[in-house]
Structure 1
Amino acid sequence: MILPFVLFAVFIVIALLVFLYSLYPGSQRVTTVPGLDPTTEVDGNVPDMQKAGSLPQFLINLHEEFGPVVSFWINRELIISVASPETHKAVAHLFDRPYSLFEPFLPLLGDRSIQLRNGPEGQHDRKLHDRSFTQAKIVQKFSMIQQICEELCDKWESVAGTGEHMPLSVNFSSLVMKSLTRFCFGDYFKDEEAMNAFTRDYNQCFHIMEQSIFEGPMVPGSEKEKRFNKAIKNMREVAGEIISARKEAEIAPEDKIFIDTLLDTYTDDDMVFDDIVTYLIGGSHTTSYYLTWAFCLLAKYQDVQEKAWKEVDEYYVEGPVTVDIMKNMKYLQNVMNEVMRYSKLAPYSARKSSSDCIISGHKIPKETPIIISAGTLMQNGDLWENPDEFDPDRFNKKIPAYGFEPFGFAGKRKCPGYRLTELESQMFIVLALKRFKVTLVPGQVVEPSYGLVTKPSEEIWILVEKRK
């Protein structure tokens, strides 16, 4: 009688252990990718991310420990991260984005944003959108962009040599919003008061969405939710006015801009609004913080600034800044690339595969979110010599394929506005270096704050002097 009882007891214990084991998300490894088991059953490795201070820093730490392909958990979902030229190449064909990783931004993006449209529909719409951001379309608006750039240069000249401190992030946020809104949505934002009001509402919404990543979603009925709803309502009203005006106007095909592409593509104005917000997020933060880091680093490294200025002075005298003029400035292009690398401006993006895929010999189950950890790759010591040093000359050497793709590459989902960011940024740098020497206000401690875009944790202040 004892033996059957013992066997029965053992069976019960084993069954109970199997049951408990199955409840724990890290217990059944569905992939051979090395990485972390969940810290908690519900939150996964979110506590580890919070301890690291940000997702990008968490990924850097994780890849240092486990290599170019790693796994971890966000809540109950398995996440894969890749950070090498070889692994980035392996996912370069993917187009679809994982819905779950963008969920915190849904109240702002909208659930029909191009950011989340996958499959044939998403690819079709992206191809249509891309037509509004060709180099030819941007060059058509060069005079407008240069005018806005020169307005900021004139503002700098008014304080040059006075000792007044100029705030980089504030200045470039205004510059980029002016140019981006007029490039994409037309002359409605020529009215500076209207542009400033729209920008304030947008910044309010984006700040609340950033907070929600670590603090959780807005509490229904809270003051935060009320502020968000009011701001998004104001933005919708402005978008409605722009949409109505463009629908009523007779616009020649060659004069159509991005808003017209949206109206030609969609019959639903809510989808138009979702994509207006999506492109504001994608365009304004990337370009404004890129310029912020560029002038911070030029001000800090005076030898780099002087070498770049000499090249600008050689190829540009006055008048329109053209693509051909900027193409001659090889060193300045190196500086711009090194700013992008050194700042880790866009530290990550994400994709998923609709079928099982293989990365570095590991089977990745279909629909698994795959993070492309560009920020980790940008400081990989095997790829970049002395990665913590700011050295534009490193770009005189050949970079391995997929080793430097700051605007993304995967599945035709490269940032659609990358040319606009590059050309506008270079144009302002040319115009500013031609007229000014910049230095950092002494005593500042500049620290990065990592998020969807890497920004300074506090405002960066510079001093401006006119060049003789």
Structure 2
Amino acid sequence: MLDFAIFAVTFVIILVGAVLYLYPSSRSVSGIPGLNPTEEEDGNLQDIVNQGSLHEFLASLHGQFGPVASFWFGGRPVVSLGSVDQLRQHINPNRTTDSFETMLKSLLGYQSGMGGGATEAVMRKKLYESAVNNTLEENFPLLLKLVEELVGKWKSFPKDQHTPLCAHLQGLAMKAVTQLALGDRFRNDAEVIGFRKNHEAIWSEIGKGYLDGSMEKSSIRKEHYESALAEMETVLMSVAKDRKGQRSQTAFVDALLQSNLTERQVMEDSMVFTLAGCVITANLCIWAVHFLSTSEEVQEKLHQELEDVLGSEPVSLDKIPQLRYFQQVLNETVRTAKLTPIAAQLQENEGKVDQHIIPKETLVIYALGVVLQDADTWSHPYKFDPDRFTEDSARKSFSLLGFSGNQACPELRFAYTVATVVLSTVVRQLKLHQVKGQVVEARSELVSTPKDDTWITVSRRS
């Protein structure tokens, strides 16, 4: 899976925690330009709060100090990289450890599979990727069915009725991920509703409290989180027990059960995939449909590509790689929405970026949101323009950041597949329209999420 591009704020928070608790304090930033600590105890935390989000803080930091900049988290120096050139110098494409899995499991309090060495890490990574690929192959007709049900609902709406994107596409993602990952038990709506309740309780607290200790200060919040996590773990263990030894091997969990993983490891990998898969799939689909509603030209290009590649046949897994403009639209959706704006790594050994020495055990932030809208890398960076990905330089930069190619994580590839099915089904049958006067804003979360009152209207194609 991706070393640096998924659920970025989680990386930052947990890595900061690891630095603070596991390593002695350091007061040297090796001369890297940046901010002095505003407060001795909190460093620049109040500056981050004042900016409204870590992404906005980093955008301001790099605007002031350039592509390599520093600030303070508590008593620890942090280095942030804010351009493609600097990230290219720092990223290690041969890394075998998985920052996303390691950090998310650390946040959840999981330990299994985190210290088995490089060989075990490679084997676990291949197993995880194979499980995702097998799940899509075995369940593609089911995915088509779920999307057709949603589009059928949209088709039944009067022309000017507002369609709530977040509610509908979050619901689709929850149904798709649970049924494909955990099997037919989740064709029962009551199971999905229970899963969603616990998922939202867990996800709403991930990352909270590590900057200000707020969850630890609220016994009610902590009890609610721990109860939801325990209930989710019980459900996942029950699913694994029910499916173990059965002949049908169609779900993500089935592939894990066929390996030599322990029951605990199966549960943890299932937790990681369902938590990550639901959130990133939902938000990729929401942003993509929203951006399509702003451009009739892009919708028509997608419609024409469907005619050229598929004719009257439905979309199929083997045809998706031929839908190149669809890929461009999804790439541009990720870029424009800054889908995962921040990531981080702990500097394992002393490193160098440009003339700057980065000391061992320094927290290094990848300011992906800044890079994705850097005018030196992207022309007209705030414009939604899928055609930019016809250029080789744009594709290479995007791949370097971990959003496409072999370095893209399985959850993101899963989300791209679901989003392609959604978009192909929608643009074949409907035209999408903006709601006049609507201003779509993103919430500052682990993944860029439009606010709940994001709407479109639809009309049937003639």
TM-score for the superposition, normalised by structure 2? 0.85
Match of 2:161 in 1: 164
**1:331 is matched with which residue: 300, 325, 349?**
325
Match of 2:192 in 1: 195
Give the direction of change, closer, same or farther, for the CA distance of 1:207–1:264 in structure 2 (3 Å limit): same
User: What are the superposed Cα offsets for residues 402-430 of structure 1, whole Å, 9 maximum, x if unpaired?
Assistant: 521387279x8742222211121111100
Match of 2:252 in 1: 257
Give the direction of change, closer, same or farther, for the CA distance of 1:29–1:98 in structure 2 (3 Å limit): farther
Give the direction of change, closer, same or farther, for the CA distance of 1:434–1:280 in structure 2 (3 Å limit): same
SS for the counterpart of 1:464 is strand
Match of 1:58 in 2: 57
CA distance in 2, matches of 1:228, 1:198: 14
Task: Tell me by how many angstroms 1:294 deviates.
Answer: 0.8
**1:266 is matched with which residue: 261, 270, 281?**
261
CA distance in 1, matches of 2:400, 2:285: 15
**1:405 is matched with which residue: 396, 399, 408?**
399
Task: Tell me by how many angstroms 1:460 deviates.
Answer: 0.7
CA distance in 2, matches of 1:50, 1:305: 39
Task: Tell me by how many angstroms 1:451 deviates.
Answer: 2.5
User: What are the superposed Cα offsets for residues 105-140 of structure 1, whole Å, 9 maximum, x if unpaired?
Assistant: 856x233277x6685244442232122123x65233
Residue 243 of structure 2 aligns with an amino acid whose one-letter code is R
**2:143 is matched with which residue: 142, 145, 153?**
145
CA distance in 2, matches of 1:47, 1:226: 28
User: What are the superposed Cα offsets for residues 376-434 of structure 1, whole Å, 9 maximum, x if unpaired?
Assistant: 11110011111111212211222267521387279x87422222111211111000100
Aligned 8 A contact 1:33 1:362 in 2: yes
CA distance in 2, matches of 1:243, 1:133: 16
Match of 1:46 in 2: 45
SS for the counterpart of 1:442 is coil
Task: Tell me by how many angstroms 1:448 deviates.
Answer: 1.7
Match of 1:231 in 2: 228
2:455 is the alignment partner of 1:461 = yes
**1:222 is matched with which residue: 219, 223, 245?**
219
Give the direction of change, closer, same or farther, for the CA distance of 1:214–1:465 in structure 2 (3 Å limit): farther
Task: Tell me by how many angstroms 1:308 deviates.
Answer: 2.4
Larger CA deviation: 317-326 vs 233-242:
317-326
Asked which structure has the greater CA Rg, the reply is 1
CA distance in 1, matches of 2:116, 2:86: 22
CA distance in 2, matches of 1:42, 1:263: 49
CA distance in 1, matches of 2:183, 2:296: 38
SS for the counterpart of 1:130 is helix
User: What are the superposed Cα offsets for residues 236-271 of structure 1, whole Å, 9 maximum, x if unpaired?
Assistant: 22112102112242456xx563454167343252x4
Query: How many residues are aligned here?
Result: 434
2:285 is the alignment partner of 1:302 = no
Task: Tell me by how many angstroms 1:83 deviates.
Answer: 2.5
SS for the counterpart of 2:414 is helix
Match of 1:390 in 2: 384
CA distance in 2, matches of 1:406, 1:418: 15
SS for the counterpart of 1:212 is coil
Structure 1: 5+ residue stretches without partners = 1-24
CA distance in 2, matches of 1:329, 1:98: 31
2:241 is the alignment partner of 1:241 = no
User: What are the superposed Cα offsets for residues 311-360 of structure 1, whole Å, 9 maximum, x if unpaired?
Assistant: 33443344431245434433332222111111110112222232212222
Aligned 8 A contact 1:85 1:401 in 2: no
TM-score for the superposition, normalised by structure 1? 0.84
Give the direction of change, closer, same or farther, for the CA distance of 1:405–1:75 in structure 2 (3 Å limit): farther
Aligned 8 A contact 1:447 1:457 in 2: yes
Give the direction of change, closer, same or farther, for the CA distance of 1:141–1:117 in structure 2 (3 Å limit): farther
CA distance in 1, matches of 2:329, 2:369: 18
CA distance in 2, matches of 1:77, 1:187: 48
Match of 2:409 in 1: 415
CA distance in 2, matches of 1:424, 1:369: 34
Match of 2:347 in 1: 353
